[in-house]
Structure 1
């Protein structure tokens, strides 16, 4: 074989190896992070949820964010949660986070104001996350369920802003059982 033929073979071999590498990276990314949005409904039942003793009873409106660091569905709601914290933290609302047991991860810097909870009685029965629970000023569960319905979460399709506004205006809310379709990851297990 002459030198130009060897160079051509080397170039072709390099192109094939590069294509194989790119294909492998793409399929690994897709298998790990890209999930199809399915229209399976999830039922959020808050009957067993209770505030821990240190938060129970009368006080501010309390929001608890249920967070699984491995869930790709968090991406959309984390910016929304940061916006909620900015809008409502000075209006008598406290924000807390319960991380899924056995997981590791760090919240983005704009969610550093979330107060971590070590435990929340009844949370082992959560069907999925991301989810949110809201207790009124008397310590009664007012809402439990997703931030919104659909593939993405933002203020335009959120259930949370109207509930927080109603509670802050002194109007009662009772929505602790919710059926919704959206991007969720199983909580149990």
Structure 2
């Protein structure tokens, strides 16, 4: 999914207009998603007044939105739609997708190089948010940021060369 691609979210959710959107692709059964929880919570606390945050639950188990909100201890919109992962080019969890205020793809990738999201120098999702909100043209381009790790989506088929 190339940067700048328009992602039409209207079929999935109604959001406050003219604000960037941060989609948190989360699987409650994925250890990497669970390790990521404090980092994601910190992003919501820091940037929540400037950005629409949405949790996209991707699991083969039928979790309700309330169960996901409780697991993350956050009162954010929750979607359980694997089609949104496909639209955004997401193939594992956890992954971050950041759209600018016109819903063009600004960043899709990892939260951090460290599985526990503890390395501030490689806090990729935070860097992307900061860059977008400061209207800097520089984007996160580290290959480790853009090649997701974690738990593969149950319905994902990745082609290999």
Give yes or no for TM over 0.5. Answer: yes
After TM superposition, give the deviation of residue 160 of structure 1 in Å: 1.4
Whole-angstrom distance in 2 between the partners of 1:69 and 1:174: 29
Paired residues of 2:7 and 2:103 also in contact (CA < 8 A)? no
Higher radius of gyration, 1 or 2: 1
After TM superposition, give the deviation of residue 73 of structure 1 in Å: 1.1
SS where residue 64 of structure 1 aligns? strand
Whole-angstrom distance in 2 between the partners of 1:113 and 1:51: 23
After TM superposition, give the deviation of residue 100 of structure 1 in Å: 1.0
SS where residue 111 of structure 2 aligns? coil
Instruction: Please point out which of 89, 93, 107 is paired with 1:143.
Output: 107
Gaps of 5+ in 2: 156-161
Whole-angstrom distance in 2 between the partners of 1:172 and 1:120: 30
TM-score normalised by structure 2 residue count: 0.71
Whole-angstrom distance in 1 between the partners of 2:115 and 2:58: 22
SS where residue 82 of structure 1 aligns? helix
Residue 166 (structure 1) aligned with residue 131 (structure 2): yes
Residue 127 (structure 1) aligned with residue 91 (structure 2): yes
Residue 180 (structure 1) aligned with residue 157 (structure 2): no
Distance 1:56 1:49, change over 3 A: farther
Distance 1:49 1:94, change over 3 A: same
Q: What is the root-mean-square deviation of aligned Cα atoms in Å?
A: 3.1
Equivalent residue number for residue 12 of structure 1: none
Paired residues of 1:68 and 1:129 also in contact (CA < 8 A)? yes
Deviations 1:109-143 (A, max 9, x none): 65422211254755135321111100012211100
TM-score normalised by structure 1 residue count: 0.62
User: Aligned pair count?
Assistant: 143
After TM superposition, give the deviation of residue 174 of structure 1 in Å: 5.2
Equivalent residue number for residue 100 of structure 1: 58
Residue 52 (structure 1) aligned with residue 14 (structure 2): no
Gaps of 5+ in 1: 1-44
